[in-house]
Structure 1
């Protein structure tokens, strides 16, 4: 593991490869302190903002664990590897599932103000976003480089303990995320952060959309802005179905949660 440093900034950079379990185990082992910090932060967030105690959070996570095992068993293996890598008697796979389903567990209880932009101009594709979230989480962020046999290599910003987030892959597929404050949610579908990871395992935007469709969509209402070398698409996802918005005549798609 190496770190990128700057004024008040130290971002770990972790290289993960091997089987799903091996990727998870190294993730958990190398980022143990950050994961333990994340669990404390989200315990506090869930309690203060949502009035959910940790036993209640774990009960919801149990339902998500079952769905992940059915729909994305390799990612459940990775999540299990993370828990084992942390090697703390007070942390198990259900706690790590809770981190991965943090958006769904507290959906409708908090705001997220991100803005994303995709712009296809000439032979270039721009994809970018800001990330308005809790300052307390910022100190734990890491950059993960993931190599899996038969899949594109992934470069991804992660909240330690969570298997997917914003980033890009070696097939030039990139993803951004904007939370949407809406209901319903469904514990029978995959949390949005797992769908981000699945999208980054695909060779194109079209393949990513097809894969998300085959899995039944998202467990909560969220927006993924995705692009490859051929252009971008806004994925408005929900448990009730998805809408896929193409770029406009200028090659631009923008999504904002700011008024």
Structure 2
């Protein structure tokens, strides 16, 4: 299982970051090296990536200034710069809209960015690799099950997180808290504020990367900051209200595209597609919602950026929908879903293809299943077909919530 970092005893946001940075120092450095290479493949050297990320600081402060303090503490604890931590948390916004498409024209820019990184003393984990095969796909498959479609009467959320297998060595389980004081458990890449997780209210969320033609065109809220912000919600309805406030009342919106699948203790599920032009909701069909890596909401279809042939998003969605028909659905069914290898190396459960160069190998880095009532999480810490799902102890409640949060409040 992945290392667990508990920051709930910290006296301040800065101290939470210090604890996280100190205990995950080596894994944060691993993340930096991974993303420095990935950005370089897109023609962006690490110093430039840090500069781009720092432009998002005022947006994050407007939503939750404590998160900037937490990142400052993380920088101090890990020995990284604030810019490096910002670059990790803004990685989706820094990656160009063409990231998931073949872009051979970037080859020379990639060589130049890599040379700049080397001159700055940043190690290259693939110094012998050819740039012709730079990573150009990323996959995740998610399923949300309502209480009505569940075998056990509560909602579930399950997904595989598909990415560079190298990043498995950077994963941590983080116990932290939101502005309301409620505890949060999130499986995330070291250095990032959150990714896939659940809180003490039984609200769970995940992530599927999407690509919009407008990614990076505006200074909206970064995706991984949005995940941490939404993990303070109490329900799907509450998350819906938060998205409305961010888009309409605060006029901030989102810096890049992603899908955020959600489930709650009230038995509800939904997927929220976000993009720089707005957001839309995918509702369940017969009590189940599934999602992969392309827009499905009609209002956002025109935002879809081109994707490369290695992204099997439409075929995986079709396979996922077949699993969604097998109601009522329980934990064993979700494990079976996340272990589906029926589409070979482009399956829901994706093993690394040995015929593909190392820098292009995408795999199911981990599988996650979350139960909303009572809150619980199970994680497969490798390709799910190879390992068991293990229970993850959740964060202890940092304080007892005496009343439900006001859904219109944005801290």
The answer, yes or no, to whether TM exceeds 0.5 is yes
The match for 1:14 among 5, 23, 38 is 5
Change beyond 3 A, Cα 1:210–1:148: closer
2:71 is the alignment partner of 1:79: yes
**Residues 80-105 of structure 1: CA deviation (Å, up to 9, x unaligned):** 1110111x2xx211110000001110
2:20 aligned partner: 27
Q: Which moved more, 1:107-116 or 1:129-138?
A: 107-116
**Residues 55-80 of structure 1: CA deviation (Å, up to 9, x unaligned):** 22122112112321233211111111
The match for 1:52 among 44, 51, 71 is 44
Separation of aligned partners in 2, 1:74 and 1:244: 28
Alignment of 1:185-224 (within 5 A): 185=215, 186-216=217-247, 217-224=253-260
2:167 aligned partner: 137
2:88 aligned partner: 99
Query: What is the SS of the residue equivalent to 1:25?
Result: helix
Change beyond 3 A, Cα 1:59–1:147: closer
Separation of aligned partners in 2, 1:106 and 1:149: 29
The match for 1:180 among 210, 214, 230 is 210
The match for 1:116 among 137, 142, 152 is 142
Partners of 1:140 and 1:159 within 8 A in 2: yes
Partners of 1:101 and 1:193 within 8 A in 2: yes
Separation of aligned partners in 1, 2:96 and 2:157: 26
Separation of aligned partners in 2, 1:177 and 1:223: 6
Task: Using the TM superposition, give the Cα deviation of residue 52 of structure 1 relative to its aligned residue in structure 2, in angstroms.
Answer: 0.7
Change beyond 3 A, Cα 1:148–1:240: closer
Partners of 1:112 and 1:180 within 8 A in 2: no
Task: Using the TM superposition, give the Cα deviation of residue 148 of structure 1 relative to its aligned residue in structure 2, in angstroms.
Answer: 5.2
Task: Using the TM superposition, give the Cα deviation of residue 251 of structure 1 relative to its aligned residue in structure 2, in angstroms.
Answer: 0.5
Query: What is the SS of the residue equivalent to 2:52?
Result: helix
Separation of aligned partners in 2, 1:128 and 1:55: 36
Query: What is the SS of the residue equivalent to 2:211?
Result: coil
Separation of aligned partners in 2, 1:149 and 1:133: 30
**Residues 223-252 of structure 1: CA deviation (Å, up to 9, x unaligned):** 00011022111101112111112212x200
TM-score by length of structure 1 reads 0.89
Change beyond 3 A, Cα 1:42–1:205: same
Q: State the number of aligned residues.
A: 245
Long gaps (5+) in structure 1: 5-10
1:8 aligned partner: none
Query: What is the SS of the residue equivalent to 2:187?
Result: strand
**Residues 121-154 of structure 1: CA deviation (Å, up to 9, x unaligned):** 2522121001110111111101111245733211
The match for 1:247 among 268, 273, 284 is 284
2:120 aligned partner: none
Separation of aligned partners in 2, 1:202 and 1:212: 11
2:274 aligned partner: 237
Separation of aligned partners in 2, 1:159 and 1:173: 20
Query: What is the SS of the residue equivalent to 1:36?
Result: helix
Partners of 1:183 and 1:221 within 8 A in 2: no
1:157 aligned partner: 187
1:7 aligned partner: none
TM-score by length of structure 2 reads 0.57
Long gaps (5+) in structure 2: 101-136, 248-252, 294-312, 316-411
Change beyond 3 A, Cα 1:181–1:148: closer
